[in-house]
Structure 1
């Protein structure tokens, strides 16, 4: 109680002092309290969070370590400690902090979300079970940033069920529509949910709602490309490139489609556009060399094979390309 009275007296004097140019800052407030009681782990963790939010990682680490040494089972201390050590790329300590947090309170959603993201990002075998538990605790609602791990693990069934739950809450959420369209358009042999008509329905819905988003044209174009509908893919890629003229992958895919249509000069132009965006784009040099070869321009093809080797001296296709003539 005495500390609180002193604290507010300091604030009052600062605010009313003619020499004061500003109010006592939040950081000053926390530092004042810590100066009076360096064992107050709650205030230490608050200052650590302030330092973390303001990119002063080392000061954040110092405070949170001190807070943890005082009391090792405070939820907020463990949560913030995990965040700080994650920023320091010491994910082993982050993992232990969030696991301890859940051992103290298994229903602490924020700790569970962070731990789930970490375990899934490193492809831990417990990823699926962590997502299952998280979904149960949140009545089937899980963010798309976590559902995407299910897609990567080819757990399409659970991914779609969770996406449908999100769509029931918000039918126009772009990220949900995106991920749903990508699952239905995924031609992986293990995807029993592949459905070209459904994927096109979602692609068209995204375009109707978000017509200036270049990514949906790329995704829809890639779907058409995978279906060997190269002319339709090119139409979609062209729309996307008008919105994002710096997408080297779009130019590369356009070149691929033109190759499949035997339009070699156009393919060369698209590969050249991709290279102009990133002159270390190895597979674009490879593809352009191949297009030059098909177009009968062996000198230019040789030049591009050499470009490949300048980027990667052990690139086998380039070595084979140069030795073939």
Structure 2
């Protein structure tokens, strides 16, 4: 795994390269951060950097040490202090590719994507074979939907290093969005996983895409993710949805149950458990799960509708009507609830 990790595909989409975003609390333009204040920040966060701090006190012009500490700050999301170290390194060696790489990272976290782009482009200009900077820039172009430029960059990376998993992952993402070819996209992502079997983002992407294609291979990737992190609640939820789509009721119940155990406020998993039991005709259990879904999230028109449907099936038309009305109160556009109320009105008029 690279010393400089890639961040952008794990973060929300940000503004296009042409403009600057608000830097808010992550800026340091009005601050002067000296060695002592940075050392204090390291101590406050319990970062294992005491020896590095002491070294930098004695060697404040060591670019590699500054970047190493900046990397630790970035990992702990302390961007102002990371910026201070990278700025110091940049003043010492403005053409150092690793410094430019991290300068791009810092600006990306500040939502200043134009500066990130410029830093990584400068890095490539200084070191044309720098894989990290090409990948960062490729990810940035992918986020702002310049897929052709992103593809050009990753293809160059694969010329430099054909065994680079991140390049295959970005290429797959670009192929899907540029050509709409999900099958080919998944093949590239699978190549990334073959090269790095613990590549979490690639595993998740492959599992979700294959699940959307109703491909049973998705189960393999979900299980691999749970081998890596047995308590990853979102994976249990996604796995439950995959099994639900396949009408594998027992497996789906097990996955959603584990999801609620890991996160008791998971209204969607409780709703899905209610839905499954409704499908299986286990009315009392279905109502119990719809109740839990509503307890987890009160504004929950689907759970009210589901519970109302069970009440209607059981002949309790008064409670059914109340739930359908509540579902419509939360979502006036919910057509199934509107139809259900009309159906109930006809039944109650007989």
For residue 183 of structure 2, what is the aligned residue in structure 1? 125
Judge which range, 23-32 or 124-133, deviates more: 23-32
CA shift at 1:218, angstroms?
Answer: 1.9
**Aligned partners of 2:163 and 2:195 also within 8 Å:** yes
For residue 67 of structure 1, what is the aligned residue in structure 2? 123
Tell me the SS of whatever aligns to 1:8.
Answer: coil
CA shift at 1:48, angstroms?
Answer: 1.6
CA distance in 2, matches of 1:91, 1:258: 51
Change (3 A) 1:183 1:30: same
Aligned residue-pair number: 267
For residue 179 of structure 1, what is the aligned residue in structure 2? 238
CA distance in 2, matches of 1:123, 1:271: 41
Match of 1:112 among 168, 182, 186: 168
Tell me the SS of whatever aligns to 2:124.
Answer: helix
CA shift at 1:30, angstroms?
Answer: 4.4
Change (3 A) 1:51 1:238: same
CA shift at 1:250, angstroms?
Answer: 2.7
For residue 296 of structure 1, what is the aligned residue in structure 2? 345
CA RMSD of superposed structures (Å) = 3.6
For residue 163 of structure 1, what is the aligned residue in structure 2? 222
Change (3 A) 1:208 1:85: closer
Match of 2:195 among 107, 124, 137: 137
CA distance in 2, matches of 1:53, 1:170: 26
User: Which ranges in structure 2 are unaligned for 5 or more consecutive residues?
Assistant: 1-58, 63-80
Tell me the SS of whatever aligns to 2:61.
Answer: helix
Kindly indicate whether residue 299 of structure 2 is the aligned counterpart of residue 246 of structure 1: yes
User: Which ranges in structure 1 are unaligned for 5 or more consecutive residues?
Assistant: 1-5, 10-21, 188-193, 298-325
CA shift at 1:239, angstroms?
Answer: 0.7
User: What TM-score results when the alignment is normalised by the length of structure 1?
Assistant: 0.67
**Aligned partners of 1:112 and 1:134 also within 8 Å:** yes
1:190-210: per-residue Cα shift (whole Å, max 9, x none)? xxxx43233333334444454
Tell me the SS of whatever aligns to 1:185.
Answer: helix
Change (3 A) 1:59 1:222: same
CA distance in 1, matches of 2:112, 2:134: 18
CA shift at 1:140, angstroms?
Answer: 7.5
Change (3 A) 1:90 1:141: closer
* Structure number, greater radius of gyration: 1
For residue 322 of structure 2, what is the aligned residue in structure 1? 269
For CA contacts below 8 A with separation 6 or more, give which structure has more relative contact order.
Answer: 2
CA shift at 1:137, angstroms?
Answer: 1.9
Tell me the SS of whatever aligns to 2:167.
Answer: helix
CA distance in 2, matches of 1:49, 1:23: 10
Change (3 A) 1:141 1:223: farther
CA shift at 1:261, angstroms?
Answer: 4.8
